[in-house]
Amino acid sequence: MLALLIVVTLINVLVATGFSLAGVFFPVFIVRGGEGSHTAKVFALYGVARSTPLLLVVLWAAFRADGTALIWLGLLAGVIQLADAAVGLQTGDKVKVWGPLGLGAVQLVVVLLAFWFGA
């Protein structure tokens, strides 16, 4: 169960970090009219500033195989994805809703299983 928790949590935070980095380097893929927009880049940098430390802490917990830390980090990552889905709902872009919603739901199910059956 710990291996599944590690894999799902790593995928989750890698997707979040990748999405943030894409916003910095390729803003047109994230925000309509974002190409060359200073505002779009600033918001993307805020995303990188939050997602990168989370990725590093998850990598540290995975390396140590710390089940308790991974349960908490997985819970946090799952809630963040659900919040991202809520933001996507405001934009009206289905990809920005269903992607985070699905990933967040999978993450939370794995966290619950790891909690119930021990990680």
Question: pTM of the predicted model, to two decimals?
Answer: 0.89
For residue 90 the two structure tokens come to: 């405001």
Report pLDDT for 94. 82
Where do we find the tokens 């990188």? 48
Does the structure show a pLDDT above 90 at 2? Answer: yes
Q: Report how far Cα 82 is from the mean position of its chain's Cα atoms.
A: 9
Report pLDDT for 21. 93
Does the structure show a pLDDT above 90 at 28? Answer: no
User: Quick one: pLDDT band at residue 26, thresholds 50, 70, 90?
Assistant: confident
Report pLDDT for 35. 65
